[in-house]
Amino acid sequence: MPSNDRSTDYDSRITACGDDLISVAMENSVSAQQFATQLRATGTWMECVPGIESVVVQFDAARTDVADVTDELIAQLNEDLPAEDVVISRLVLPVFYDGPDLLPLCEQLGMSRDELVALHCGGDYRVEMLGFTPGFAYVGGLDDRLNVPRLAEPRQHIAAGSIGIAGGKTGIYALSGPGGWPLIGRTPLTLFDTTADNPFVLSAGMRIRFEPLDGDLAE
């Protein structure tokens, strides 16, 4: 176990972000998910939400204060993080690569459509977090050659299942709505199932492989 002389360093990673919320900075999405798992196991916290490089913790402000919560979180940071589960959820996501921004991106990046699709399908991907809109997945592992900015003007409506790339990540829209990611394709899979115990198919930590499909998606 690390010594407590690192407490000052840990304290610098902890930031109050509300009357009953504290954010803990983490190294990456993997450590964030592991730390959230560790905190949930204690049964102490009202909610623990992992992000890409942080965990937001909700506590009962009527029973404790920020100073005590900070001390407890530092103690938890001094503990070894739990190992990842041996069984990792995996999903092959079929994709029609016919998005409205696909060909403009090919021209911008100086590559053919087949080259872009091959690069996107060749990655080892992991869902880093869900956010922005319900079920929207931020997926890490994008090839550096596909790193492009968001659209200058977001679209008012993007269909459910749409897949975009921006800022070094792939974004997957589980539900329809507005968005500013350049769209390269769309999956025919239903990513939001109201009949399931967990209606969202994608979850943080899930491993994903993209698989190209031929043909056009029906409107």
pLDDT in tens, 54-104: 888 888 888 888 888 888 888 888 877 766 544 457 899 999 999 999 999
Using CA atoms, how far residue 16 sits from 3, 121, 155, 211, in Å, is: 24, 40, 34, 42
Query: What residues in the chain have per-residue pLDDT under 50?
Result: 1-8, 85-87, 216-219
Residue 142 CA to residue 181 CA, distance in Å, equals: 14
The CATH number of 4-77, from 3.40.50.1100, 3.60.150.10, 3.30.1360.40, 3.30.420.40, is 3.30.1360.40
Model pLDDT, residue 75:
85
What end-to-end distance do the CA atoms of the chain give, in Å? 56
pTM over 0.95: no
| pLDDT at res. 88 | 58
What integer pLDDT is reported at residue 114 of this predicted model? 95
Taking the C-alpha atoms of residue 205 and residue 218, their distance in angstroms, rounded to an integer, is 31
Residue 7's pLDDT is what?
A: 44
Q: In the chain, which residues fall in CATH 2.40.100.10?
A: 90-213
State the CB neighbour count (10 A cutoff) for residue 87.
6
Cβ pair 64, 79 in contact under 8 A = no
What is the SS3 assignment for 73-131? HHHHHCCCCCCCCCCCCEEEEEEECCCCCHHHHHHHHCCCHHHHHHHHHCCCEEEEEEC
Say what the pLDDT of residue 190 is. 92
Predicted pLDDT of residue 28: 75
Give the model's pLDDT for residue 83. 60
**Is the domain defined by 90-213 classed in CATH 2.40.100.10?**
yes
Q: What share of the chain has pLDDT > 90, as a percent?
A: 44
Which residues of the chain are in CATH 3.30.1360.40 domains?
A: 4-77
